Structure 1
Amino acid sequence: MSALDSILKIGSVVSVLGRSVEIKVDTAKNASHLLYKGELLKNVSVGSYIKIAKGFTHLVGKIEGEFITEDKSRDFHSYTSEQEKIRRLLQISLIGFLEGNVFKQGVKELPLVDNEAYLLTQDEFNYVHKFVKDDEETFVFGSLAQEKGKAIEVSIDRLLASHIGIFGNTGSGKSYTLAKLYHEILSKYKDEPAFQKNARFILIDFNGEYMSPEEGLSDDVIISSRYKQVFRLSTGTNGSKKKYRLPNKIINDEQFWSLILHCTEKTQSPFISRTLKSEFLEDNIHTDEGFKKLITVTLEHITTKVSQNQEKNLVLTFLEELAKFGIADKIDNYKAVYRDLRANLQFHSKDKYFYYNNVISTTAEFLPLLREKLNVLEPHISEVSIIQKIRLKIIFNFYYEIQNGFANKEHIGPVMGRLDDRINDLEKVIEITQEKNEPCVLSVISLKDVNIQMRKILPMIICKHLYEEKKGKIERDKFLNIIIDEAHNILSFNSDRESETWKDYRLEAFEEIIKEGRKFGVFLTIASQRPSDISSTIISQLHNYFLHRLINNKDIEAVEKTISYLDKVSFDSLPILPQGSCILAGISAQLPVIIEVGFIPDKNKPYNETMVLTKHWRDEIRTEDNQIKRIK
Structure 2
Amino acid sequence: MINEVTNNNLVAESVLKIGAVSEVKGKNILVKVDKNKNAPHLLYDGRIIKNVSVGSYVKIGKGFNEVIGKIEGEFISEDINLEANNYSAHRNKIKRFLNVTLVGYIENNIFRQGLKELPLIDNDCFLLNDLEFNCIHSFARIDEDKIKIGTLLNETNTRIELGVDKLFASHIGIFGNTGSGKSYTLSKIYYELLNKYKDNQEFRNNAKFILIDFNGEYAIENENDNIIIDKEFKNRFFLSTSKFDKDRFPIPESVINDLTFWSILLKATDQTQKPFLNSCLVKKYLVDNTKTEAGIKGLIYNTVAAILTQGGKNLDKDFHIFFLDEILRLNNITGMFPNIKEVKNKLKSGLRIEFGQYTLYNIKSSDNSLAFLQRLNEIIYSLTIDLSKNNAFVKIRIQIIINYFDVITKGYYSKEHIGPLYNRLESKFSEITKVFAVINEDKIITNKKPLVVINLNDVNVEMKKIIPLVICKYYYEFFKTSNLDRQKYLNIIVDEAHNILSRNSIRESETWKDYRLETFEEIIKEGRKFGVFLTISSQRPYDISDTIISQLHNYFLHRLINNKDIEAIGRTVSYLDKISFDSLSILPQGGCILAGLSADLPVVMKIDKLLDQYKPHNETIVLTSKWK
Residue 534 of structure 1 is aligned with which of 540, 544, 557?
A: 544
Letter in 2 for 1:225: K
Letter in 2 for 1:142: G
What's the counterpart of residue 5 of structure 2? none
Residue 5 of structure 1 is aligned with which of 5, 13, 26?
A: 13
The Cα of 1:38 is off from its aligned counterpart by: 4.2
Judging changes above 3 Å, is the alpha-carbon distance between structure 1 residues 347 and 52 closer, same or farther for their aligned structure 2 residues?
farther
The answer (yes or no) to whether the contact 2:352–2:361 under 8 Å persists in 1 is no
Residue 19 of structure 1 is aligned with which of 4, 23, 27?
A: 27
Q: Aligned pair 1:50/2:58, yes or no? A: yes
Measured on the aligned residues, the alpha-carbon RMSD in Å equals 2.1
What's the counterpart of residue 302 of structure 1? 307
What's the counterpart of residue 295 of structure 2? 290
What's the counterpart of residue 390 of structure 1? 396
Between 28-37 and 97-106, the greater mean CA deviation after superposition: 28-37
The answer (yes or no) to whether the contact 2:328–2:337 under 8 Å persists in 1 is no
Distance across 2 between alignment mates of 1:360 and 1:577: 87
Number of aligned pairs? 614
Distance across 1 between alignment mates of 2:353 and 2:172: 65
Distance across 2 between alignment mates of 1:291 and 1:421: 23
Residue 72 of structure 1 is aligned with which of 60, 76, 80?
A: 80
Residue 443 of structure 1 is aligned with which of 449, 452, 456?
A: 452
What's the counterpart of residue 579 of structure 1? 589
Residue 137 of structure 1 is aligned with which of 135, 145, 159?
A: 145
The answer (yes or no) to whether the contact 1:265–1:501 under 8 Å persists in 2 is no
Any idea what SS the aligned residue of 2:73 has?
Answer: strand
Letter in 1 for 2:480: K
Residue 499 of structure 1 is aligned with which of 509, 513, 518?
A: 509
Distance across 2 between alignment mates of 1:491 and 1:118: 47
Aligned counterparts, 1:589-604, within 5 A: 589-604=599-614
Residue 467 of structure 2 is aligned with which of 432, 436, 458?
A: 458
What's the counterpart of residue 183 of structure 2? 175
Letter in 2 for 1:258: S
Judging changes above 3 Å, is the alpha-carbon distance between structure 1 residues 38 and 394 closer, same or farther for their aligned structure 2 residues?
same
What's the counterpart of residue 280 of structure 2? 275
The answer (yes or no) to whether the contact 2:363–2:372 under 8 Å persists in 1 is no
Any idea what SS the aligned residue of 2:412 has?
Answer: coil
Letter in 2 for 1:323: L
Judging changes above 3 Å, is the alpha-carbon distance between structure 1 residues 454 and 361 closer, same or farther for their aligned structure 2 residues?
farther
The answer (yes or no) to whether the contact 1:79–1:85 under 8 Å persists in 2 is no
The Cα of 1:91 is off from its aligned counterpart by: 1.2
Distance across 1 between alignment mates of 2:87 and 2:27: 34
Distance across 2 between alignment mates of 1:165 and 1:337: 59
Any idea what SS the aligned residue of 1:76 has?
Answer: coil
Any idea what SS the aligned residue of 2:411 has?
Answer: coil
Judging changes above 3 Å, is the alpha-carbon distance between structure 1 residues 54 and 346 closer, same or farther for their aligned structure 2 residues?
farther
Residue 559 of structure 2 is aligned with which of 544, 549, 567?
A: 549
What's the counterpart of residue 630 of structure 1? none
The Cα of 1:84 is off from its aligned counterpart by: 1.7
Distance across 1 between alignment mates of 2:321 and 2:434: 28
What's the counterpart of residue 232 of structure 2? 226
Deviations 1:438-476 (A, max 9, x none): 331111111111111211111111111111111211242
Distance across 1 between alignment mates of 2:166 and 2:295: 57
Distance across 2 between alignment mates of 1:79 and 1:610: 60
The answer (yes or no) to whether the contact 2:248–2:437 under 8 Å persists in 1 is yes
Distance across 2 between alignment mates of 1:472 and 1:440: 22
What's the counterpart of residue 623 of structure 1? none
Any idea what SS the aligned residue of 1:545 has?
Answer: strand
Judging changes above 3 Å, is the alpha-carbon distance between structure 1 residues 83 and 361 closer, same or farther for their aligned structure 2 residues?
farther
Aligned counterparts, 1:446-525, within 5 A: 446-473=455-482, 474-525=484-535
The Cα of 1:311 is off from its aligned counterpart by: 3.1
Any idea what SS the aligned residue of 1:378 has?
Answer: coil
Q: Aligned pair 1:615/2:620, yes or no? A: no
The answer (yes or no) to whether the contact 1:545–1:584 under 8 Å persists in 2 is yes
Any idea what SS the aligned residue of 2:150 has?
Answer: strand
Distance across 2 between alignment mates of 1:289 and 1:402: 24
Q: Which TM-score applies when normalising by structure 1?
A: 0.93
The answer (yes or no) to whether the contact 2:339–2:383 under 8 Å persists in 1 is yes
Letter in 2 for 1:304: T
The Cα of 1:227 is off from its aligned counterpart by: 0.9
Judging changes above 3 Å, is the alpha-carbon distance between structure 1 residues 99 and 333 closer, same or farther for their aligned structure 2 residues?
closer
| Ranges in structure 1 where 5+ consecutive residues have no aligned partner | 619-632
